[in-house]
Amino acid sequence: MLTSGWRCAVCGATTAIGDALTWRCPNATATDRRHAPQIVQPAVPVVSTGATNPFLAFRQYLAWDSFAEALGLDDGAREALVSELDAQVALVAGTGFVTTPFARADALSDELGFAPTGGVWVKNETAHVAGSQKARHLFGILLHLVTAERAGLVPWSDGERPSLAIASCGNAALAASTLAAAVQWPISVFVPADANPRVLERLHALGATVVECPRLPADPPGDPCVHRFREAVMEGAIPFSVQGTENAWCLDGGRTIGWEMRGRPFDRLFVQVGGGAFAACVSAGMGSLPRLHAVQTRACAPLERAWELAASVGGPAAVAQHWSDVMWPWEHVGHSAADGILDDETYDWLPVVDAMHRSHGGAVVASEDDVLMANEIGCRTTGIDASHTGTAGLAGLLAMRDHVAADERVAVIFSGVQR
């Protein structure tokens, strides 16, 4: 059993790995989500079993696996549960969980002027479950839920499951609704009033209850979808969220992306950041971390603001005790083609700031021209049909291209199929 539990990076509160349905720090409240549970696990060599499904290839390193072991499930039972749920997902999504391609993009590297010894390596998540990496985050939560339910550690009975809930405008909503449909679990999706009609159509087809969330005059600062989501959770819904502050279990399965990328000598890693769980998980999984550059757009860049303000509170190592001084919702969220990373607040900012600090990286703000150019060049040269959100990491590289040497090895992740 590798994982012993959770420890909050803000207040130090701990939760044992065998505790069921523990979504947040025990000191978090309805009005104070400024807590950040992190997985407590020793640094060990990560070795794949060779299975194509990353939840089987790296199962022993997952916090979920330690949770199931703590409940008494033997090795075979734990493997069987992953396979069972994966097969159910594949029936709905058309694919189960697989290790995604990760290779040097030669034409892209040439077009950006990299030398043969350097270049850009692209990991392609667009053909994954529901078209992005989001399902990886959520599958860890689903494994936890089903395990707890079968062990009799839930307050509901068969046939009376409480609704899952998620706040999202696109990829996360589709991933959550796909997984929910796979196990016939009801789900409510809280979406902005201007959500993509094609996404809404697919959500309805998956059986989700879609709740549009206009910004109300009485709302406090922040995303109205998150406000309505939190209200639903207070009324009994289960947070099926890709925000670690709302459900820390999303930080478990997301690490499989980084585990698949380990063992290669990169100089820089550019990751698009909305809520922050994506960058937090990739950096946690990679082990020997290259310089991490967290990429946001000029339309909404709360993480870059926090990164710049860190010096005023004692530096990146001290920011956990100064959350409200450096991280708060973006006052006037603008428009961007990369609309999937326009989160008012970077919820999982603490592990991202820590990773940038440790790796001597930093935050990058990409212009809208960078966002548009990255998508055009990235899709054309690689043949990957990614959205502007999905190629926003590459936009960060374009913004910094003059500061990146031609022989540097750079990694980006395309995640989010064009819809």
The CB density around residue 326, as the number of other CB atoms within 10 Å, is 22
User: Is pLDDT above 90 for 187?
Assistant: yes
Query: Looking at 202, 234, 250, which one is the last position of a domain?
Result: 250
Q: In this structure, is residue 419 part of a structural domain?
A: no
Mean pLDDT along residues 181-195? 94
Mean pLDDT along residues 62-68? 98
Mean pLDDT along residues 189-199? 90
Q: In this structure, is residue 187 part of a structural domain?
A: yes
More confident residue, 350 or 263: 350
pLDDT digits (tens, 9 = 90+) for 211-237: 999 988 888 888 999 999 999 999 999
Give residue 31's Cα distance to chain centre. Answer: 23
pLDDT at 130: 95
Rounded to 10 degrees, the C-alpha dihedral 370/306/300/266 comes to: 30
Q: Nearest to residue 68, comparing CAs of 121, 127, 3, 112? A: 3
- Positive or negative: CA dihedral 170, 172, 178, 181: negative
Same domain, 168 and 246: yes
Q: Nearest to residue 191, comparing CAs of 218, 219, 214? A: 214
CATH code for the domain of 272: 3.40.50.1100
User: Is pLDDT above 90 for 1?
Assistant: no
Query: Looking at 233, 250, 267, which one is the last position of a domain?
Result: 250
Mean pLDDT along residues 278-306? 96
Percent over 90 (pLDDT), the chain: 90
Q: How many whole angstroms separate alpha carbon 151 and alpha carbon 137? A: 22
Rounded to 10 degrees, the C-alpha dihedral 89/91/92/98 comes to: 50
pLDDT classification of 148: cutoffs 50, 70, 90: very high
Q: What angle (nearest 5°) sits at the alpha carbon of residue 172, between those of residues 206 and 205?
A: 10
pLDDT at 240: 98
Same domain, 175 and 57: yes
Same domain, 84 and 191: yes
pLDDT at 238: 98
Q: In this structure, is residue 48 part of a structural domain?
A: yes
Residue 178: half-sphere exposure toward Cβ, Cα within 13 Å: 31
pLDDT digits (tens, 9 = 90+) for 327-347: 999 998 999 999 999 999 999
- Output the six-digit token pair for 380: 């054309």
pLDDT classification of 300: cutoffs 50, 70, 90: very high
pLDDT digits (tens, 9 = 90+) for 5-43: 999 999 999 999 999 999 999 999 988 999 999 999 998
**pTM to 2 decimal places:** 0.96
Same domain, 296 and 218: no
pLDDT at 284: 95
User: Is pLDDT above 90 for 60?
Assistant: yes
Same domain, 39 and 127: no
Same domain, 365 and 235: no
Residue 61 burial by CB count (10 A; 0-12/13-18/19+): exposed, middle or buried?
buried
Mean pLDDT along residues 71-82? 98
Same domain, 62 and 79: yes
Same domain, 266 and 366: yes
pLDDT at 264: 87
Same domain, 321 and 184: no
How does the average pLDDT of the chain come out, rounded? 96
pLDDT at 367: 98
pLDDT classification of 263: cutoffs 50, 70, 90: confident
Q: 169: domain range?
A: 5-93+134-250
pLDDT at 31: 84
The lowest-confidence range among 157-161, 260-264, 288-292, 361-365 is 157-161
